[in-house]
Amino acid sequence: MANCVVLLSGGLDSTTVAAFAMSQGFDVHALSFNYGQRHLVELDAARRVARELGLHSHVVCDIDLRVFGGSALTASIDVPHRQSGEAVDFGASKEIPVTYVPARNTIFLSFALALAETISASDIFIGANSIDYSGYPDCRPEYLAAFEAMANLATKASVEKGQKTTIHAPLLTLTKVGIIELGLSLGVDYSITHSCYDPVDFNKPCGSCDSCLIRMGAFESLGMVDPLF
């Protein structure tokens, strides 16, 4: 089996991606980051997911925060919460959310590239999707293609062995509903995942941040209840 690297946050998207990569016959090496996120509980979810899916390995990397500056996910900026009944735009807005972290996916993918080279993997999976795509610049297909082009000039493996690195973003054109359908078809148990930006108590999703509302709404569209609520 070929090795691959999967960026795993323990959320709904990256868990689906890990299951997808396994279904494609890859031996999955998961990579998570402790970057001082408010929702540190997601690292527990990532460990749970790695164990439940039976991934080959799981590395949690500490990322030094000092370069990141202001983001609602790392600093003392408030995560926006919606009032009951308030509409979520589900990505229709053209504004970049305050939860944007500078160059986050570039840093994450760079570490993934280093790990890929050390385990002779030429495939890296990331859970970028169409909801994120509308808001975060580093979830857009043109960004991911540019990263791949750069990666193919960056490594010893690319120069000496002509090894081509592929950045896979299998959720890119899927809606949240489509992602959940894909995961369910692969047998994913979404009760072990964690998506909340701002959990109120240990492991308890707030139910009112955009991340919670988007996944709750998607389960609802499928006639289901999000197993986290």
Give the residues lining the site for a second copy (CB under 8 A): 31, 59, 61-64, 66-70, 96, 100-107, 109-115, 117-119, 137-138, 140, 142-143, 146-147, 149-151, 153-156, 158-160
Determine if residue 9 is labeled as part of a ligand binding site.
yes
36: left (phi over 0), alpha (psi -120 to 50) or beta: left
In the bound complex, what is the minimum distance in angstroms from residue 201's beta carbon to a second copy? 29
- Residue closer to a second copy (CB basis): 1 or 153: 153
- Residue closer to a second copy (CB basis): 34 or 175: 34
| Whether the Cβ atoms of residue 17 and residue 127 lie closer than 8 Å to each other | yes
- Residue closer to a second copy (CB basis): 28 or 101: 101
Determine if residue 64 is labeled as part of a ligand binding site.
no
In the bound complex, what is the minimum distance in angstroms from residue 128's beta carbon to a second copy? 12
| Whether the Cβ atoms of residue 102 and residue 69 lie closer than 8 Å to each other | yes
d(CA 225, CA 229): 7
- Could you tell me which of 191, 192, 182 has the C-alpha nearest to residue 222? 182
d(CA 6, CA 23): 13
In the bound complex, what is the minimum distance in angstroms from residue 205's beta carbon to a second copy? 26
- Residue closer to a second copy (CB basis): 72 or 212: 72
Give the angle subtended at the CA of 130 by the CAs of 4 and 33, to the nearest 5°.
45
Which residue is listed with tokens 């090496």? Answer: 29
Determine if residue 206 is labeled as part of a ligand binding site.
yes
Annotated binding-site positions for Zn(2+): 196, 206, 209, 212
Annotated binding-site positions for ATP: 8-18
Annotated binding-site positions: 8-18, 196, 206, 209, 212
